[in-house]
Amino acid sequence: MPVMQHVFEFQARLTKAVIVVALLFVGTFFYADTLVQWLRVPLQNMFVAGSLQWIPTELPKIPFVFLAPAEALWQNLKVAALFALVLATPYLLWEIWAFVVPGLHVQERRFVAPFVLVSTLAFYLGLAFSFFFVLPFALNFLISYGVQAGFIPQLSIASYVGFALWFLLVFGLIFEVPLALTLMAKLGWADAPILKRYRKWAFLGAFLFAAILTPTPDPFNQCLMALPMYFFYEVGIISAGFFGKKPPAGAHDAAAGAGTPTGALRANPLPNSGTTGAAGASDEYVGVP
């Protein structure tokens, strides 16, 4: 299609996506108070995986306050909008896939649809992991530290909601790291040996990103984000090794030949072999880059 037809198609799909998100937002806004109450659950409760239930912690009752006239309403709008986006994620990914798929080759289309499905499930798993395990642990540690220091806990609804939503969103994206690395390996942009070579930089980058993304500057929350991020980088290395783009069989033969004395003679022909210079060497043998 011409460029303008692509623009019109993008506009149409974007309009449908906005309409779907807006309709879901109307529904989630009516339950915004309930959603905010659910966000408060990890504050004074811990989830026990063995019994699949929440148990109260030893923290005292923590009142919520708002410091501006419209703060409570704005937080309800923020919570409703984020939950609407989360619920609309499968549809948004489907619209992106439908827009991109005409420009893909047949072999690329085979793994794009499963990738969209798995990425959606991974995002939801990241949200659940953060809500049931990371948030209760982080909140209990931080609030307990303040209480033991002699301070009286009293939280602003804006600060708490922003803290909880940011944790949920970041961990949803962290769970996408292995899929992103697998897709890069599948497209031939990277492979497992290259990813292994950059392990130390990935470890450093995880802490740098965590320092930027954490809503508080304390090193405890930074480690809570950085360590899972690096763990999923290692998972991505394993996945890239299994599902990465395999090099052609001739490349292995050429690499093996280059490592033998015969390959060395081909790569460096003698002056009387009938060819001279680099051009003659390239005619005799093409090395693996």
Give the model confidence (pLDDT) of 215-251 as tens digits. 666 677 677 777 888 888 888 888 777 766 655 555 4
Is 70's pLDDT higher than 80? yes
Quick one: DSSP state of residue 66?
A: -
CA–CA separation, 242 vs 260, rounded Å? 28
Give the HSE-up count for residue 85: Cα atoms under 13 Å, Cβ half-sphere.
11
pLDDT digits (tens, 9 = 90+) for 105-149: 776 677 767 777 888 888 888 888 889 988 888 888 888 888 888
Q: Which of 1-5, 50-54, 216-220 has the lowest mean pLDDT?
A: 216-220
Q: Which of 51-60, 70-79, 87-96, 254-263 has the lowest mean pLDDT?
A: 254-263
User: What is the pLDDT, as a whole number, of residue 243?
Assistant: 65
pLDDT band at 21 (very low <50, low <70, confident <90, very high): very high
pLDDT band at 266 (very low <50, low <70, confident <90, very high): very low
CA–CA separation, 183 vs 131, rounded Å? 27
CA–chain centroid gap for 183, Å, is: 12
Residue 164 vs residues 36, 45, 228: alpha-carbon distances, Å: 10, 14, 17
CA–CA separation, 211 vs 206, rounded Å? 9
pLDDT band at 159 (very low <50, low <70, confident <90, very high): confident
Quick one: DSSP state of residue 41?
A: G
* pTM of the full structure: 0.68
Is 65's pLDDT higher than 50? yes
